Amino acid sequence: MQSIEDKIEKSIKSKQRGTLIFTDDFIAYGSSKAIQKALERLTNREVIRRVARGIFVRPVLSEYIGEVMPTAEDVAQGIAKRDKIKIVPTGNHALNKLGLSTQIPLKLVYLTDGSPREIQIGKRTIKLKKTTPKNLLAKGKISSLAIQALKEVGQKEITVDFEEKIIRLLEKEDKKDLEHDIRMAPVWIRKIMQKAL
């Protein structure tokens, strides 16, 4: 008779290193208390590392730096995939992802159609903010970030230089996606985005 711990360990080891592991992944193996205990023991045995509450990983091993833990961004994407929700980076995070700000935010704020929550990962925080479906309709990766970046800076604060940078980035976006996303943006952002066509 395999123990819950053995079953969980076997399941974890069958996955690629770096794959995020959630407590809920093992619901079929027993009670949540038994699963938590097993995961705790696997953490103590250094089979896995705890990333945040209820989130673990078997780190990728690098010959240069040893264990490579997932980034806060990897965790946000992992949660979105698990919960089948949409997430869109906003604020300084969107600016940083577009290369328009060198400031690496300690708090990563995402708009989501899932439940709002905050997740602590080391010194960084992931904040999922509930929003209306309309704010998540953008299809293009660049254009959805551009919309959020422009909202963050604000209509009155946008410089000619900043606008030109945004337009240059948007020119790399898939034309169909860009045309779609322009219709999703507030009027003042729409005017800027149209210049990229």
User: What CATH number is given for 4-68 in this structure?
Assistant: 1.10.10
Report the percentage of the chain scoring pLDDT > 90: 97
User: Which single residue is written with the structure tokens 């800027």?
Assistant: 192
pTM of the predicted structure, to 2 decimals: 0.88
Q: What is the rounded CA–CA span in Å between residue 197 and residue 184?
A: 15
For the beta sheet containing 55-57, the strands, ordered from the edge strand earlier in sequence to the opposite edge, are 20-22, 55-57, 49-52
**pLDDT score at 147:** 97
Give 32-61 pLDDT, tens digit per residue.
Answer: 999 999 999 999 999 999 999 999 999 999
Query: CA-to-CA distance for 133 and 113, rounded, in angstroms?
Result: 7
